[in-house]
Amino acid sequence: MSSILKEIEWCPGCGNFGIFKAFRNAVKRLGKDGIEKGRIVVVAGIGCHGKLPDYIDQPSFHTIHGRVLPMLTGIKLANPDLLPVGFSGDGDALNEGMEHFIHAAKRNTDVALFLHNNEVFGLTTGQFTATTPKGRRTRTTPFGNPEDPVNPCLLALISGATFVARGYAGNIKQLEELMYRAILHRGFSFLEILQPCVSFNNTWDLLRENVHEVSPAESFDDALRLVMDRFATGVLFKTEKETFEEILHKNRV
């Protein structure tokens, strides 16, 4: 658990800077709504994004690889008044943490997960991950990635997530809005954030030229169409249903 703010160590130009700023803005906005900063508990996994708890002045934890969602779930069960927010990388959440991701969505656990998707293991210098596009050359796929990539929003949607959104590290204003809405949503909120890794997968030009905002889906079938557009950003799907914590509490009464 972090208690002393440290100097930021991300590479110059890293997409994490935009994500960090959007989150701080969202927390300030929630504060204006009367939500104290101390109610928003942050958990980050292993990866460059995992340094985030070192740079924020609020309750936060840095957990082991792939275990962001179990910690978020435990925090919510222990104190339902808290608003647990997780930061995870594509490798952290969808390689090591894939099973936890699916089950948190299926249960509709009342937490928010922000996925930094730079399509590479950046901290360990450029290995391919579950979201690396097929054919892309990395340090561990020198002849091109032979696997089809996981679509994080599609996986969240078909697993049962009740809030599915996608943002872009270069659009801080939109990202702030998406984070704000995700944190307030009752149920499992998933936000994929398209993010360049300037050292091992610099996609700034690709993303600037292709990301575009879309309106929320009006049906599940429409949402399936939206999530298949990898550059579509905005709230892609939103619905309401009983949360995991509500069901457990009801069964105890």
Q: Please, which pLDDT band fits residue 95 given cuts at 50, 70 and 90? A: very high
Of the candidates 114, 117, 151, 122, which has an alpha carbon nearest to the alpha carbon of residue 134? 151
- Sorted by where each begins, the domain ranges of the chain are 15-250
| C-beta separation of 237 from 226 below 8 A | yes
End-to-end C-alpha distance for the chain, whole angstroms: 33
Residues 6+ apart with CB under 8 A from 230: 151
C-alpha 188, offset from chain centre: 11
Q: 15-250 falls under which CATH superfamily? A: Thiamin diphosphate (ThDP)-binding fold, Pyr/PP domains (3.40.50.970)
pLDDT in tens, 24-53: 999 999 999 999 999 999 999 999 999 999
Give the pLDDT mean for 174-199. 97
Distance separating alpha carbons of residues 236 and 233, to the nearest angstrom? 7
Is pLDDT of 3 > 90? no
What predicted TM-score, i.e. pTM, was given to this entire model? 0.95
